[in-house]
């Protein structure tokens, strides 16, 4: 489990195929204190298992599912990535609960400056935008962000200068792909309500009227 608060950047120094997936060699720009072999580290929002940890360097296996669902496979040696180590129960929850299981890739539709802030608009498959709500949380390349607006197949976020400076989001340009994880709470609510109402998960009728009927609005 993660929070979407990036601890630092990492550099991909090795990438090679292995067993239908890939092996990544990564070097963090911060010290991996008290490293635990097999610990979880989110790489651009995708939860990977760290092994052979040596100083700031570690290796991780990237499964075929992760390659299909995320943009990790497009990374090249030398590329920078956002890194976050797994949440401890004693840590501050500065972002929101993030599983590190990327739902899909989206694309930067627009980037524009509004004063000191940068407004990004991202595309997202319409099957997932129902889990993205105005002033709710969403994860972009591992970064916890607050949703400004949300439409059928896109949403926007406003990013502060600090976040642009300390993550890879500052380098995003229109047309770039990003890893997106929607808020998991919405998916759990939908599944529970669907089962309670006796309708299949694939036939969910969750909408504002349905939520109001069941006491959520």
Q: Model confidence over 65-78: pLDDT tens digits?
A: 999 999 999 999 99
Going by CATH, does the domain composed of 8-85 fall within 3.40.640.10?
A: no
Model confidence pLDDT, tens digit, residues 9-68: 999 999 999 999 999 999 999 999 999 999 999 999 999 999 999 999 999 999 999 999
Can you give the residue ranges of every domain in the chain?
8-85
Average pLDDT, rounded, for the chain = 92
Residues in the chain: 217
Contacts of 170 (CB under 8 A, 6+ apart): 164
pLDDT tens by residue, 137-174 = 999 999 999 999 999 899 999 999 999 999 999 999 99
194 contact partners, CB below 8 Å, separation of at least 6: 200, 201, 203, 204, 205, 206
CB 121 within 8 A of CB 108: yes
Residue pair 184/99 in contact (Cβ under 8 Å)? The answer is yes
């Amino acid at each position: 489990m993660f929070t979407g608060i990036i601890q630092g950047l990492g550099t991909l120094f090795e990438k090679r195929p292995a067993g239908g997936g890939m092996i990544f060699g990564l070097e963090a720009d911060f010290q991996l204190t008290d490293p635990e072999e097999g610990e979880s580290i989110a790489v651009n929002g995708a939860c990977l298992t760290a092994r052979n940890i040596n100083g700031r360097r570690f290796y991780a296996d990237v499964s075929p599912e992760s390659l299909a669902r995320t943009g990790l496979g497009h990374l090249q040696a030398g590329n920078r990535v956002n890194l976050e180590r797994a949440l401890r129960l004693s840590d501050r929850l500065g972002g929101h609960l993030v599983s590190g299981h990327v739902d899909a890739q989206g694309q930067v539709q627009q980037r524009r400056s509004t004063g000191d802030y940068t407004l990004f608009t991202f595309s997202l498959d319409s099957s997932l935008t129902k889990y993205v709500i105005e002033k709710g949380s969403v994860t972009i390349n591992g970064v916890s962000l607050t949703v400004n607006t949300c439409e059928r197949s896109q949403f926007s976020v406003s990013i502060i200068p600090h976040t642009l400076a300390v993550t890879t989001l500052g380098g995003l340009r229109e047309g770039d792909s990003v890893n997106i994880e929607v808020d998991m709470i919405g998916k759990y609510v939908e599944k529970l309500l669907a089962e309670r109402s006796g309708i299949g998960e694939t036939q969910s009728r969750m909408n504002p009227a349905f939520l109001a009927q069941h006491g959520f609005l």
